[in-house]
Amino acid sequence: MSEYVPPKVWTWDQENGGQFASINRPIAGPTHDKDLPRGEHPFQLYSLGTPNGQKVTMLFEELLAAGHDAEYDAWLISIQDGDQFSSGFVSVNPNSKIPALLDCSGETPFRVFESGAILLHLAEKFRAFMPTDPAGRAECLSWLMWQMGSAPMIGGGFGHFYAYAPEKFEYPINRYAMETKRLFSVADRRLAETPYLAGDMLTIADIAAYAWLGTFARGEAYGDAATFLEIESYTHVERWVAELDARPALQRGRKVNRNAEGWAIERHSAADIDAVM
- pLDDT tens digits along 220-243: 999 999 999 999 999 999 999 999
The pLDDT assigned to 13 comes to: 77
Cβ–Cβ under 8 Å, residues 173 and 161: yes
Q: What distance in Å separates the CA atoms of residue 186 and residue 193, rounded to the nearest whole number?
A: 11
The pLDDT assigned to 23 comes to: 78
Count CA atoms closer than 13 A to 195's CA, side-chain side. 6
In angstroms, the Cα distances linking 257 to 27, 149, 171 are 26, 24, 35
Backbone φ/ψ region at 224: left (φ over 0), alpha (ψ -120 to 50), beta: alpha
| Section 10-20 average pLDDT | 73
| Section 62-87 average pLDDT | 97
What confidence tier does 57 reach under pLDDT thresholds 50, 70, 90? very high
| Section 174-184 average pLDDT | 98
Count CA atoms closer than 13 A to 174's CA, side-chain side. 3
- Sheet-wide strand order for 43-47: 72-76, 43-47, 100-103, 110-113
- Going along the chain from its start, the domains and CATH numbers come out as 1-129+248-277 (3.40.30.10), 134-246 (1.20.1050.10)
Q: Classify 47 as helix, strand or coil.
A: strand
15-19, 40-44, 74-78, 177-181: range with lowest mean pLDDT: 15-19
Q: What distance in Å separates the CA atoms of residue 153 and residue 149, rounded to the nearest whole number?
A: 8
What confidence tier does 6 reach under pLDDT thresholds 50, 70, 90? very high
What confidence tier does 4 reach under pLDDT thresholds 50, 70, 90? confident
- Full-model pTM: 0.96
- pLDDT tens digits along 123-170: 999 999 999 999 999 999 999 999 999 999 999 999 999 999 988 999
> What's 68-119 look like in SS3?
CCCCEEEEECCHHHCHHHEHHHHHHCCCCCCCEEEECCCCCCEEEECHHHHH
Residues 6 or more apart in contact with residue 115 via CB below 8 angstroms: 52, 53, 55, 56, 99, 148, 208
What confidence tier does 261 reach under pLDDT thresholds 50, 70, 90? very high
Q: Give which of 256, 252, 240 is closest to 197, Cα–Cα.
A: 240
The pLDDT assigned to 21 comes to: 67
User: To 10 degrees, what angle do helices 115-126 and 204-217 make?
Assistant: 140
Cβ–Cβ under 8 Å, residues 103 and 120: no
